[in-house]
Chains A and B, each alone.
Chain A
Amino acid sequence: MKAVRQALPPLAVIFVLLAAWEASAKWDVLADAFTIRDFLIPAPSDVAGALWEFRGVLWDDALVTFSEVVLGFGIALVFGVAFAVALHLSPTLRRAFYPLIVASQTVPPVAIAPVLVVWFGFGIAPKLFLIALICFFPITVNTLDGLRSVDPDLIKMLRTLGASRGQTLRRAEFPWALPFAFSGARIAVAVAVIGAVFAEWAGSSEGLGHLIQVSSGQLSTDLTFAAITVLSAMAIALFGALALVERLVVNWREEPAR
Chain B
Amino acid sequence: MPTTVTTQEATEATGAAVRASGLGHSYGELRALEDIDLVLQAGGVLALVGPSGCGKSTLLEILAGLREPSEGTAAAGVARSAADRLERCALMAQRDLLLPWLSAIDNASLAPRLAGRPRSAARAQARPLFERFGLGGFEETRPAGLSGGMRQRVAFVRTLMAGKPVLLLDEPFAGLDAITRAEMQSWLAGVLNEDAHTVVLVTHDVEEALYLADRVAVMTARPGTVATQIEVPDPRGADRAGAVTAPEFAELRERALRALAKGAGR
Contact = CB atoms under 8 A, between A and B. Distances in A.
Given A255-B145, A258-B147, A162 B91 contact: no
Given A160-B90, A175-B99, A252 B142 contact: yes
B99 A171 contact: yes
Interface string B83-127: 000110111010101011100000000110011000000000000
Interface extent on B, as a size class? 20 to 34
Interface in B234-250: none
Contact of A161 (B100, B144, B145, B162): B162
Interface residues of A, number: 22
Given A157-B93, A258-B145, A162 B101 contact: no
Nearest to A157: B97
A152 to B, nearest CB: 11
Contacts of A37: none
A160 B145 contact: no
Interface string A147-187: 00001011011111111100100011001000000000000
Interface of B: 61, 64-66, 86-87, 89-91, 93, 95, 97, 99-101, 110-111, 114-115, 141-142, 144-147, 158, 162
Interface in A51-95: none
Nearest to B162: A161
A162 B93 contact: no
Nearest to A156: B66
A256 interface: yes
B18 to A, nearest CB: 15
Contacts of A252: 100-101, 142, 144
A158 B147 CA distance: 23
B162 A151 contact: no
A250 to B, nearest CB: 8
Contacts of B100: 252-253
A154 B145 CA distance: 20
A161 B110 contact: yes
Nearest to B110: A161
A153 B95 contact: yes
Contacts of B158: 161
A112 to B, nearest CB: 39
A257 interface: yes
Contact of A153 (B64, B93, B99, B162): B93
Given A157-B93, A258-B145, 18 more contacts: A153-B93, A153-B97, A154-B99, A156-B66, A157-B91, A159-B66, A160-B64, A160-B66, A160-B89, A160-B90, A161-B158, A162-B114, A163-B114, A175-B99, A255-B142, A256-B144, A256-B145, A258-B141
Contacts of A258: 141, 145-147
B86 A159 contact: yes
Contacts of B64: 160
Contacts of A167: 114
Q: With a 10 A CB-CB cut-off, give which of A161, A164, A175 has the most chain B CB atoms.
A: A161
A175 B101 contact: yes
A154 B89 contact: no
18 contacts: A153-B93, A153-B95, A156-B61, A156-B91, A157-B93, A159-B66, A160-B86, A160-B90, A161-B111, A161-B158, A161-B162, A162-B162, A171-B110, A252-B142, A255-B144, A256-B145, A258-B141, A258-B146
Nearest to B94: A153
Nearest to B146: A258
Nearest to B103: A252
A157 B111 CA distance: 10
A14 B141 CA distance: 44
B115 A162 contact: yes
Contacts of B95: 153
A257 B114 contact: no
A167 B142 CA distance: 21
B203 to A, nearest CB: 18
A82 B156 CA distance: 35
5 nearest CB pairs, A to B: A252-B101, A160-B91, A255-B144, A161-B111, A157-B97
A170 to B, nearest CB: 10
A248 to B, nearest CB: 13
B145 to A, nearest CB: 5
Given A156-B66, A159-B66, A160-B86, A171 B91 contact: no
Given A157-B91, A162-B111, A257 B144 contact: yes
Interface string A125-163: 000000000000000000000000001011011111111
A161 B90 contact: yes
A153 B96 CA distance: 10
Contacts of A157: 91, 93, 97
